[in-house]
Structure 1
Amino acid sequence: MKQYNAIKAKYPDALLLFRVGDFYETFGQDAVKSSQILDIVLTKRSNGSDNNELAGFPHHSLNTYLPKLVKAGLRVAICDQLEDPKMVKGIVKRGVTELVTPGVALQDEVLSSKSNNFLMAVHQGDKAYGIALLDVSTGEFLTAEGQEEQVAKIIQSFRPSEVIYQKRVKYNFSEVQSKFLLDDWAFQYDYAVDKLTALFKTKNLKGFGIENLKDGIIAAGAILAYLDETHHFDIQHITSIQRLNQDHYVWMDPFTIRNLELVYSPHPKGVTLLNILDDTCTPMGARLLNRWMVMVLKDLKAIHNRQNIVDYFYKNSDVRYDLREQLSQLTDLERLAGKVSTGKITPRQLLQLGQSLQIARSIKSIASKSSIKEVSDLFAKIEDLEPLNQKIFNTLSDEPPHQIVKGNVIREGVSEELDQLRKIQFSGKDFLDQMCQREMERTGISSLKIAFNNVFGYYIEVRNTHKDKVPSDWIRKQTLVNAERYITEELKEYETQILGAEEKILAIENQLFIDLIQEIITKLMPIQQTAKAIAYLDVLSNFAEIAEKNSYIKPEITDGYDLKITEGRHPVIEQQLPLGEQYVSNNVLLNPIDQQIIMITGPNMSGKSALLRQTALIVLMAQMGCFVPATAAEIGIIDKVFTRVGASDNISSGESTFMVEMNETASILNNISERSLILLDEIGRGTSTYDGISIAWAIAEFLHQSNMKPKTLFATHYHELNEMSKSMERIKNFNVSIKETKDTILFLRKLVPGGSEHSFGIHVAKMAGMPKHVVARANEVLKILEQTKTDDQLGNKTEKLTEENMQLSFFQLDDPILESIREEIMNTDINTLTPVEALMKLNEIKKKLGK
């Protein structure tokens, strides 16, 4: 326990798994936590310290239990025995061999194959935040600089599983599960430059285009410091660092990424755009698509490049089918490369790497069928690594085990010494049978047998009836009731040879396996290049597959300013409709000349919000290079997408729904550009009616009068805003049409010119199952309120409502007894009743009520 406490003191923030014999043990509060998370037994044992709680599990179950601890957001220090207990007298030397945290996990059981596992570092400089992101499992390393909103956007986009920062950072990382405060020494510029140039084996950082990002470099250096602290030293697969330049991608603030549900949904059963667009065949492709969803292109040339490749695969379905069939057989090349570098790869996984490289070579040959330059160029990026994968096949056995200690890892013929030792190991029984037969013939002892035990190894057993025939060169080791056991020099020599063979076989196999890994490490960059090219092919052929399956078309992307969508559909909602039901498509036309702002009115549940979202999703899909759900689309490049849809209180920060709404809207108005697309839904509804109308009017007016002329869809309940089109030429009124019947309404979900005069909220309440008397009362109140709109008269009407109508509201229930009582009271002339008659009448009413 003294040894345990000394090690634990070095890692106070981590749960310490302490190896004792065949078990990993936890003590004290660590034991309490692990027993709850892992559902293992918590016991108490007097051990001379305060940490008498104890919980543990077998060491071979580490890969079962460790992921559960990490997924719970814990940092886990693995403390192993550093010496062979058989060779040591007293306490075995122990030390932490790995510190596993949510951000630096390498175990397959912790990682999701379809998404990256990013560790994020944040440094607050004098003028900006420095940000760095690393997925240690794939080697992807990114850095950026920006203000607080940039930090928020990166967290929303990349969903880091852990963030490290220093005390001076004022940002609140409430959205990140695991946070760690790193000492200031790790956030030093000179230290960061030294660490990065040493890792990449370069003289400076100019080749990566980040030399001017001082704060970003500091954050990247802090990540490398954290890797050292967590004992991750083998990181040759981190071969470069990329600048995350937001100027290259469509700006979407955190609210927009959340509101549009691009890659995740706040609702437990919500379906995201990623769910609809992801039919990728490889883990690398799935992760790349995830990235593209939040880093949408705004470079016209790059978009057209992607579109041309998608178009090729769309039109050449036979090539696409062949490619996707090959892709589906690949394993995760990126993460296998990471495992090679960190020494975490198993023999079975190494064989899978060789098989995947062989498949990649056959994928490369598909390029010969294409005459499209963009397609050929992409296939050309797949490296021909035939010598390497042949080396893997020639070294490893056909079916290597998951663990090298299981043996039979290296193929026969690779090492003559290994083959000889295996011959000794596997021919041992034959040797012993031959020796037994020879000794029987030499001595004349017919019942002689050779056996083995753990006390003194191999021995010859002779029954007492034959012990007088035992040769003088045999050495007696044990006397039994009916027999005696002997050893010979030849037997002991053979024992040494056969028992040493197993240990030597393991050592030789292990060394040959390490040599193979070292050779593969020299080819990590071409392997990663191949993985990247395959990921691109996977995503773009996936877009073609989705386009064919969901009837998408190729949009026309231009450098103009018009946005024209013909019969557009919501890509997510249309896939969720009941079988046989068709999604109602809509046209949207926005331009800075005569239709910059569309004011959309219409009832609740009519589809206003869906129309807003589908417009943004179609634009983003198009600029990703994907085809879109429409019959035609012409999209002038959009550089920023802003949404103010939905409402949610931020109570933990003391912000009401209205405050959240105003914060988000202020962010929009302060950051608009001439290529912005703005989606506003029910602005101002979080405050009083006239306040809300005033705010919504002022916002719409600001957007119309702005020199930027951003394209805007403005959905509202405030029918008063329809008046704006009379004085502002670029605002046009539309409504989502409905069909009224006598008692109800039918939502047609079609956008038509003109404003709507009613919101039909009471009809929606009725459809939602509101009690009938509440709906009836609402209709009465509505009729009274609609008679006037001035404040003075409204006050009078409210008083009238309270005095007259509310007095009878008790009887407006769907109950025949109460209704009959109501009729009786209404038909009674109380002016002619005597006091006794009034009491009798009251008694009759009580009897009707069962009182």
Structure 2
Amino acid sequence: MAKTPMMQQYEDAKQACGDAILLFRMGDFYELFYEDAKTAAGTLGLALTSRDKGENPIPMAGFPHHQLDGYLAKLIRAGFRAAVCEQVEDARKAKGLVKREVTRVVSPGTLTDDALLNPQEHNYLAAITLGPQPKATQPKNGLKVIDVQEPRVGVAWAELSTGTFFAADFSRDEVVDQLARINPSECLVSDEAQDTLGADQLRGMMLTPRPAWAFSRDAAVSALSHQFGTRTLDGMGFGEQDGLAIQAAGAVLEYLRETQKTSLDHIQRLTPYRNTEILEIDEATRRSLELTRTIRDGQREGSLLSTLDRTVTSMGARLLTDWLANPLTNLNLIQKRQEAVATLIDNDGLRATIQTQLKTIYDMERLLARVSTGRASPRDLSFIGTTLEQLPPLKTLLEDQPGGLLQELEQSLDVCADLQALLASALVENCPLQIRDGGVIQAGYHEELDQLRQMSDGGKQWI
């Protein structure tokens, strides 16, 4: 049976997104076909029907478009990747078949929506690339000499929802311990890396196979230099010895570009991870200490982190996780933290006032990332404005406080007064969740918009 133009369009989109489950927008619904429909029916609890009920019916399932976030969350939690194919032109103006494009591929390591993320935890996408194996040489005297240099592994990890990006290289024996520290939600690997490292070293992680070219040095340097607007990465602290780290970072960036199909401007720096000031903890010890997860069920609740966590913001909870996962060995840095803690312990009023102020602050890291990737809602912008309103009084509270760390925080805190004033004057007090709901901009902010609203509301009078 000949394919309809729509089904051919579906199959073209499916081919472009590989093994991801394709959510194909058709009017007010997202539809799934063939094996994707069978998978979704079992995983999401959707009714499995069929299209073209003839000799070769096509399995089919679907759900209303406004339920996308909920079903995406279920697919990701079940370990699947999902591609979202949207209608990119108005169906009423389309001549023939409505144009559709895959606008993003969502995987465990590329989440940005609050509905899909745990606000207290990082959500890293990592990549691993292998260095060359030690080689044997045959000198003239006939003795075989083995290069005893330890094989190295390049590792990079980024969080799309905040823009943080790190890279380093480690010995092969260190990889398990470092991955336990990073705890990535998804790990990009070449076939060679997957075969060489084996199941033991990569157990418990969602692995996404990538072609060997995705880890090439030239492609990595080109992609990273273009992203950061530099000719080299020397200014970021990388040198010739960091080739494997750069290759892994290039693979991460290429995957994000391929799947997100949008701006990544919020990723502004690649930071070299140097463990000279960090206490290295092996995987077994980390598990036994239950720093961030319990041995019994791998949950946060019951760990040292959950016992210590009295933070009142999502950003603070993630920072505390970092501090526990990466204990300092630098005495000066440790003492700076202790001085700041002592100041707050000795001043109950100051501490309580700061906590009260912080409770009104939203997750700026993730809000700004959604703005950068073009996925912010009107309510996200409202939350940014609300947070900016709280910064001047918070900055005042930190002024003239003893302790170097508190002074550094006060000096680095930019209240962004111009942006706060713009958002306050432009947005209504209670912004809708979606732009399509309308009513985002205040009356009086834009004269032409006010006129259009009057024409829309009073159409009969205008006629």
TM-score (norm 2): 0.90
What is the SS of the residue equivalent to 2:19? coil
- How many angstroms does 1:266 deviate by? 2.6
Aligned partner (choices 190, 197, 213) of residue 171 of structure 1? 197
The equivalent of 1:18 in structure 2 is: 24
Q: Which residue of 2 aligns with 1:122?
A: 128
Match of 2:217 among 160, 178, 189: 189
- Structure 1 residue 368: deviation in Å? 2.5
Provide the secondary structure at the position in 2 that maps to 1:267: coil
Superposed CA deviations along residues 649-673 of structure 1, whole A, max 9, x for unmatched, are: xxxxxxxxxxxxxxxxxxxxxxxxx
The residue aligned with 1:216 is 245
Per-residue deviation, 1:403: 1.0
Secondary structure at the residue paired with 1:312?
helix
Contact 1:138 1:338 in 2 (8 A): yes
Contact between 1:67 and 1:107, CA under 8 Å: does it hold in 2?
no
Alignment of 1:543-558 (within 5 A): none
Equivalent residues in 2 for 1:626-705 (5 A)? none
Corresponding residue number in structure 2 for 1:36? 42
Percent identity for Structure 1 against Structure 2: 36
1:144 aligned to 132, 149, 168, which one?
168
Return the offset for 1:349. Answer: 1.2
Instruction: Determine which of 90, 100, 103 is the counterpart of 2:106.
Output: 100
Output the amino acid matched with 2:80: L
Q: Measure, in 2, the Cα distance between the counterparts of 1:77 and 1:264.
A: 31
Deviations for 1:772-808, whole angstroms, at most 9, x for unmatched residues?
xxxxxxxxxxxxxxxxxxxxxxxxxxxxxxxxxxxxx
| Residues 387-425 of structure 1: CA deviation (Å, up to 9, x unaligned) | 111111111122221111111111222221111111222
User: How far apart are residue 136 of structure 1 and its match?
Assistant: 0.3
CA distance in 1, matches of 2:55, 2:413: 59
5+ residue gaps, structure 2, are 1-6, 133-150
Provide the residue aligned with 1:254 in structure 2: 283
How far the C-alpha of 1:193 sits from its partner, in A, is 1.2
Letter in 2 for 1:284: M
CA distance in 2, matches of 1:6, 1:374: 55
Q: Equivalent of 2:255, from 198, 211, 226?
A: 226
1:11-410 correspondence to structure 2 within 5 Å: 11-46=17-52, 52-126=58-132, 127-169=151-193, 170-172=196-198, 174-211=202-239, 212-268=241-297, 271-410=302-441
CA distance in structure 2 between the partners assigned to 1:237 and 1:80 by the alignment: 24
Confirm or deny: 8 A CA contact 2:399 2:410 kept in the other structure. no
Q: Does the CA-based 8 Å contact 2:69-2:116 persist in structure 1?
A: no
Q: Aligned AA for 2:393? A: S
Q: Distance in 1 between matches of 2:377 and 2:110?
A: 19
**Mapped contact 2:343–2:402 kept (Cα < 8 A):** no
Mapping 1:404-803, distance limit 5 Å: 404-428=435-459, 431=461, 494=463
Letter in 2 for 1:171: L
Counterpart Cα distance in 1 of 2:69 and 2:280: 41
Runs (5+) with no aligned partner, structure 1: 433-493, 495-851
Q: CA deviation at 1:426?
A: 2.1
* Change over 3 Å in CA distance of 1:330–1:304 after alignment to 2: same
Task: Report deviation, 1:350.
Answer: 0.3
SS of 2:260 mapped into structure 1: coil
Partner amino acid, structure 2, of 1:225: E
Residue 231 of structure 1: how far off its partner (Å): 3.0
Offset of residue 248 of structure 1: 1.5
Quote the residue 1:775 is aligned against.
Answer: none
Read off the aligned partner of 1:67 and give its amino acid letter.
Answer: A
Letter aligned with residue 62 of structure 1: L
What do the CA deviations read for 1:66-90 (whole angstroms, capped 9, x no partner)? 1111111111011112222212243
User: 1:263 offset after TM fit, Å?
Assistant: 0.3
Alpha carbons 1:29, 1:51 under 8 Å: kept: no
Contact 2:86 2:100 in 1 (8 A): yes
Secondary structure of the 1:109 match is: helix
The higher radius of gyration belongs to 1
8 Å CA contact retained: 2:428, 2:439: yes
Q: Deviations over 1:213-262 (max 9, x none)?
A: 11000000001110122134311111111111122211110001011111
Which string of whole-angstrom CA distances, capped at 9 and with x for unpartnered residues, describes residues 618-667 of structure 1? xxxxxxxxxxxxxxxxxxxxxxxxxxxxxxxxxxxxxxxxxxxxxxxxxx
Equivalent residue of 1:175, what SS? coil
> Which structure carries more relative contact order (alpha carbon 8 Å, separation 6+)?
2
Q: CA deviation at 1:189?
A: 1.1
User: C-alpha separation between the residues in 2 aligned to 1:267 and 1:38?
Assistant: 28
Deviates more, 1:199-208 or 1:319-328: 199-208
Tell me the TM-score normalised to structure 1 length.
0.49
Give the count of matched residue pairs. Answer: 432
Q: Which moved more, 1:102-111 or 1:49-58?
A: 49-58
Runs (4+) of structure 1 exceeding 6 A deviation are none
Alpha-carbon shift at residue 335 of structure 1 (Å)? 0.4
SS at match of 1:252: coil
Q: CA RMSD in A?
A: 1.7
Q: Distance in 1 between matches of 2:57 and 2:79?
A: 23
What's the offset of the Cα at 1:354? 1.1
1:49 to 1:364, Cα distance in 2 relative to 1, 3 A: farther
Q: CA deviation at 1:313?
A: 0.6
CA contact (8 A) 1:278 1:289 kept: yes
Say if 1:263 and 1:273, in contact at 8 Å, map to a contact too.
Answer: yes
